[in-house]
């Protein structure tokens, strides 16, 4: 069976490439999706790439991943630093998950150093810009292995 992974993007990530390229890079979310589709082809997996600005919609997508996807890559945007509900959603589906950020959240404002998501994921990739997405795919697929 072809393995499938959910790549979920949170609030404001639809605005990538329009402002603050010095922080988040020049790449649009559509360009990042194309990068992930190419990587998925190379790795022989399928992806479901999504973005929502709504916490509940992100939670619904995580719940729906159960029994459908082998794992989750989550860039929760600013919800990373605030959302116990998203943390609980990841814990509730018991799927391996990788936390992803374009920027190095540990080198920025104090409030970005706190991540609720970190408590329930296998690991975190941050600071590599758009290149972090294919890196996260490699990390997750390697973690999942042949299971
Ligand atoms: O570095 C990341 O990937 C973040 O998850 C991006 C979030 C931020 O709140 C997190 O702390 C780290 C922000 C999403 C993108 O926001 C934009 C703001 C202006 C222009 C374009 C995107």
The structural domains of the chain, with segments of one domain joined by +, span: 4-146
Give the predicted TM-score (pTM) of the model: 0.96
Helical ranges in 12-147 per DSSP H: 21-24, 29-43, 55-64, 84-93, 132-144
**CATH code linked to domain 4-146:** 3.40.50.9100
Q: Answer yes or no: are the C-beta atoms of 63 and 47 closer than 8 Å.
A: no
Predicted pLDDT at 64? 98
Three-class DSSP category at 121: coil
41: Cα separation from own chain's centroid: 18
Distance CA 140, CA 121 (A): 10
Predicted pLDDT at 108? 97
Q: Answer yes or no: are the C-beta atoms of 5 and 140 closer than 8 Å.
A: yes
- C-alpha of residue 145 to centroid of ligand 1, in Å: 30
Residue nearest ligand 1's atom 11 by CA: 78
- Per-residue model confidence as pLDDT tens for the chain (147 residues): 569 999 999 999 999 999 888 989 899 999 999 999 999 999 999 999 999 999 999 999 999 999 999 999 999 999 999 999 999 999 999 999 999 999 999 999 999 999 999 999 999 999 999 999 999 999 999 999 965
Predicted pLDDT at 1? 57
Does 114 contact ligand 1 (Cβ within 6 A)? Answer: no
- C-alpha of residue 141 to centroid of ligand 1, in Å: 25
């Amino acid at each position: 069976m072809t393995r499938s992974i959910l790549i979920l993007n949170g609030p404001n990530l639809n605005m990538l490439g329009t402002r603050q390229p010095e922080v988040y890079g020049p790449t649009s979310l559509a360009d990042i999706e194309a990068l992930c589709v190419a990587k998925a082809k190379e790795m022989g997996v399928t992806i479901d790439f999504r973005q929502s600005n709504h916490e509940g919609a992100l939670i619904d997508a995580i719940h729906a991943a159960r029994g459908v996807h082998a794992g989750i890559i989550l860039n929760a945007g600013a919800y990373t630093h605030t959302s116990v509900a998203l943390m609980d959603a990841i814990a509730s589906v018991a799927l391996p998950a990788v936390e992803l950020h374009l920027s190095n959240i540990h080198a920025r404002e104090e409030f970005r150093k706190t991540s609720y998501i970190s408590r329930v994921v296998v690991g975190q990739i941050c600071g590599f810009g758009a290149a972090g997405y294919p890196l996260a795919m490699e990390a997750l697929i390697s973690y999942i292995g042949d299971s």
